[in-house]
């Protein structure tokens, strides 16, 4: 896999139902792609009736067709010689009410740093270091990678729990075990929503108000809500206990900084 970057690339995006959508070109075809830090794959929307491969996602197995990608361009950012999968993403098109050509895992930007600027609707891929003043003024979460997925550890009642940092999720999600055992002192809000995934699932999930001790620089605790979800499949796939998922678009309303070199998230 080869990439080219001219110091800094600014990529406009549209936030649609909490998902980050960019315009990208795959082998000459231009379309809308969801940017997903919670995915380590490139998925291309297409007919999978003649699928020849089953590949793993956080939602389990998805049927698709292996696809060799010669060139991927997003603005002035370019990657060559990539592996992708063609699968049916029509459920996401219905959810967004928008044509979706695919999903891009953020691993394609490695080893560069990424800034999600929600004020100006821009994704900034850069070789520049994040300013120290910015780091000191924001919340900070360290993370590590499991199969190219960023995982942070949150302290809940003195114990550490693994949460995925996901730009491809429209809400926060908490594992059923944490909620059923009341580990987070969560409270039901009385709301629910239908959860749509790349795998085509449309499950109704209940919303909870949650408290997380790690967030201290902003008054986010009282406003943090998440939905109940079973992460046993994700835990099995990644070989580590996953206790939830944090949506980047719901974590901060202004900017999120991914320091890919030092493995830290600032928001």
| Cα 231 to Cα 108: distance, rounded to the nearest angstrom | 25
Consecutive H or E run containing 5: none
Task: Count the neighbouring beta carbons within 10 Å of the beta carbon of residue 140.
Answer: 16
What are phi and psi for residue 263, nearest 5 degrees? 55, 55
What is residue 60's predicted lDDT score, i.e. its pLDDT? 59
Indicate the DSSP class of residue 237.
Answer: H
User: Could you list the pLDDT tens digit for every one of the 267 residues in the chain?
Assistant: 444 445 788 999 999 988 899 999 999 999 999 998 877 788 899 877 666 676 656 565 677 788 899 999 998 888 999 988 888 888 888 888 899 999 998 888 876 789 999 999 999 998 878 888 888 888 888 999 998 889 999 877 778 899 999 888 888 888 988 888 877 778 888 888 777 766 655 677 888 887 665 555 444 444 578 888 888 888 988 899 999 998 888 887 788 999 888 899 998
What is residue 214's predicted lDDT score, i.e. its pLDDT? 58
The residues, ordered by sequence, that sit 6+ positions from 182 with a Cβ below 8 Å of its Cβ are none
């Amino acid at each position: 896999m080869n990439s080219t970057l001219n110091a800094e690339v600014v990529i406009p995006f549209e936030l649609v139902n909490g998902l980050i959508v960019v315009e990208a070109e795959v082998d000459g075809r231009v379309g809308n792609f969801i940017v997903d830090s919670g995915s380590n794959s490139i998925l291309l929307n297409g007919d999978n009736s003649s699928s020849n491969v089953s590949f793993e996602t956080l939602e389990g197995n998805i049927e698709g067709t292996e696809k060799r990608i010669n060139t991927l361009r997003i603005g002035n950012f370019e990657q060559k010689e990539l592996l992708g999968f063609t699968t049916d993403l029509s459920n996401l098109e219905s959810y967004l009410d928008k044509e979706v050509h695919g999903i891009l895992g953020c691993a394609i930007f490695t080893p560069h740093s990424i800034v999600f600027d929600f004020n100006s609707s821009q994704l900034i891929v850069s070789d520049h270091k994040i300013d120290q003043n910015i780091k000191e003024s924001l919340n900070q979460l360290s993370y590590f990678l499991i199969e190219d997925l960023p995982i942070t550890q949150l302290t809940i009642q003195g114990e550490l729990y693994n949460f995925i940092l996901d730009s491809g999720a429209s809400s926060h999600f908490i594992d059923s075990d944490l909620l059923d055992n009341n580990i987070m002192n969560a409270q039901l809000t009385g709301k629910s929503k239908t959860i749509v995934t790349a795998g085509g699932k449309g499950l109704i999930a209940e919303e909870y108000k949650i408290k997380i001790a790690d967030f201290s620089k902003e008054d986010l605790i009282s406003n943090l809500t998440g939905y109940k979800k079973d992460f046993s499949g994700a835990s099995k796939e990644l070989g580590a206990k996953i206790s939830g998922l944090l949506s980047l678009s719901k974590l901060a309303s202004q900017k999120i900084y991914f320091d890919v070199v030092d493995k830290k998230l600032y928001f």
